[in-house]
Structure 1
Amino acid sequence: MDQERMILSAFFFNPQGDHRMSWRHPAAPGFEVFDLQYYRELAAIAEAACLDALFIADHVAMWDTFESNVAHYANARLEPITLLAALSTVTRDLGLISTLSTSFSEPYNVARMFASLDHLSSGRVAWNVVTSGMNEEAMNFGRDATLEHAHRYDRAAEYLKVVKALWDSWEDEAVLIDRKAGLFANPEKVHRIEHAGQHFNVRGPLNVPRPPQGYPVIVQAGSSGDGKNLAATHADLHFSMCRSLEEGLSYRREINDRLARCGRSPGSLKILPGIQPVLAASHAEAKEKRELLESLVPERMAVDLVSSWCQIDVSSLPIDGPLPDLPDEDSYDGQRSNLARLKAFKAQSMSIREVARQLVGSGAAPVVAGTAVEIADFMEEWFRSGLCDGFNLMFPVLPQDMSDFANSVVPELQRRGLAQSSYGKGTLRDKLGLERPSNNFSTPH
């Protein structure tokens, strides 16, 4: 892989775009977000631009702690493994990244699904490993509230250990299909994993041969201490959030230190910060686009989102007043990266209204607004500084903003030699310059 070029992934938070109320935008899609053809067209845009991957976010609940939000907030979405299985048949090179939570699923089923999809896609699958922090999700799986934060990550670490062992339970040369000898597989190369741990007891082996990539690419997006430890131990790609060049460089140094403690080199984990590109011919046009999106958000819904992040009901507080005192990290069982962002907003003396506007837009991802040259300049500065290996592109309104980026910014990046103009050969791991993992059953210890 040419290390001088960026990894570019199109990230879909909502089916209509990465603004929480993008579904109300006049250019947004309607009911077609539940139809394959819509996603097929998005994948075609991405593959024509030689983007590396589509990255599908997911929740396993409707966000409805506040009843009005079921009607206003477009959180309905297709199940991503099913969606990407369909897209694997209409794409050839594009990476397919699915979010799937370790909090409310079982390692065996998940290992089987991703192994199957890796085979069906000829090695183009990645798993964004998350832990669920929404109480609404927990209530769909027999609990009153989400799992305690440290418990979620302890469970996730063991979960990944089990899944990797299941992927390894078939050695690469295990399948024989020797009709004459009557051997489908070499019995010495198919293994029970016999895992007995704190959270899981799994015998194995998996009933799917080892994936083409060895392990599908592992992605991790949490930036709490526990999340960063999980990334440093297991991940190949890390989805980060940073608001400035200085903050991003500091974050990179911290991740590199954690990698070193895990015996890994800096290049073994690719960091992709999220950015929200807004293509505009002038600053006035960019401002107009942002103001239109902000105007689509019901004020109560925006305030409720702040309450959800704070885990404190702020609806009775003055909307132009400050955030309340925030919980300590140790007592906060939501997504701790969200808590860190709130504390940063509070340190900047942002009002509840200002925080609400930030959260309904890009969350903590910087909005990069301007011409194609200006957006490319921003991306080049961050990339060449060593802050990142590429970007998760969070388009406010789909498909329009993605198409505009593909037709204007990508050619500018290609002209500078920063984005690929054609796909390399091999699996997604091969294309991203990631090593294929050795099999722990066949590697001497």
Structure 2
Amino acid sequence: MKKEGDMMRRYHKAWTVLAVLCGLAAAAIGVSINTSGVFYTVVSEDLGMLRGAFAFHMTIFSLVTAISALFVPNLLSRYPLKLVLTFSVVMAVLGTALMAISSHLWQFYILGAIRGFSTGMFSIVTITLIINQWFKEKNGLATSIALGFSGLVGTVFSPIFSEVIVHIGWRGAYGFEALLIGLLCLPAILYPFTMTPEDEGSEAYGKQSLKNDQVIMSQDKNPSTGLSLGALLVFASLIGFMSSMTQHLPGYAASVGLSVTLGASLLSMGMLGNIIFKLVIGALSDRFGSLKATTVLLALALSGNLLLMQTQLTVFLLLAAFLFGSCYGLGSVSLALVTRDIFGDEAYGKRFPIISFAGNLGAALAFSIIGYIYDFTGSYFPTLIVLVVFLLISTISLFSAFYRRKMVREK
């Protein structure tokens, strides 16, 4: 009995909160975004649309997600967390279900906006705001677990959605997607927890052992801090652009004469990389800091991009897609950890929605731009060249942001 009591005292509710946040991440990112690529070719061909024109509904989705995320901190300060979650999840489920009965571009575009608005309220900004309140220690690990779960769902369900499309059509697959989103979000709606542990008379995990010098105070009026923000906005937008290419991997496979099955496998490998590298960067960040961890992922993303440009051998294409998945770790976990590291918990809620907006904007533009580049050139190679340039610029932006932070601390 004593041993049982000791275990209960060592257990912290923050880990259960993290578990339900995994469901939100899986629905908002893993299902809503990471499996969208399997629909591009089949829907556009069935309805006689350009691939880029159909993919534009995901541009709208990402853009509206970015806009809605800007208002998340204010909404969560004015309304109960559970109310915001319930409303947004219901909207996301209905918007996705209606995709199944749509036949015209304008319908997909409107539903893309509805889905983007709703998922933006329970996606990365909301998830990381809650994690930052509940985890003062192991914040990198907690962030990587929650956001890495989205990659797990993408890996598992991309081929499942492909099979569902084969057997009952893409309309049935959208209905299945709506049901899955609802089921994944249900634990977060039903499990009793608040935005901050203090609201329920508790305290964050690791708060007692947190040293004062571990807290980075914000200096909003310092010009160097403003330059750090600008550098991170560039970093976020370019990495966001790159992440959208992963959803075009099935189309890339088809464009070079490879099978549909291999195309779906490339997307799955990208999602596997999504999981692994999100976990890797969280662990590396807790141990070595977010700058070194992010630099490692940038190098891996560049390697995957270059390998994809140089080979058509199946084993190397799968490896390239796996390495390409590191861009998801960069655009979600890395971005959140870097923002927290540079600006601190105090300014995170103010800065991260803006930085996240830049990342979503980059992804939003890329969804259709990459499709249109293919439509007008017949190849994805020009896009891969652009991504190499973007990765180099992103690396420069990252180091610039940390250099400005160093200037702030030395003053």
Return the TM-score normalized by structure 1: 0.27
Which one has the largest radius of gyration? Answer: 1
Return the TM-score normalized by structure 2: 0.28
More strand by share: 1
More helix by share: 2
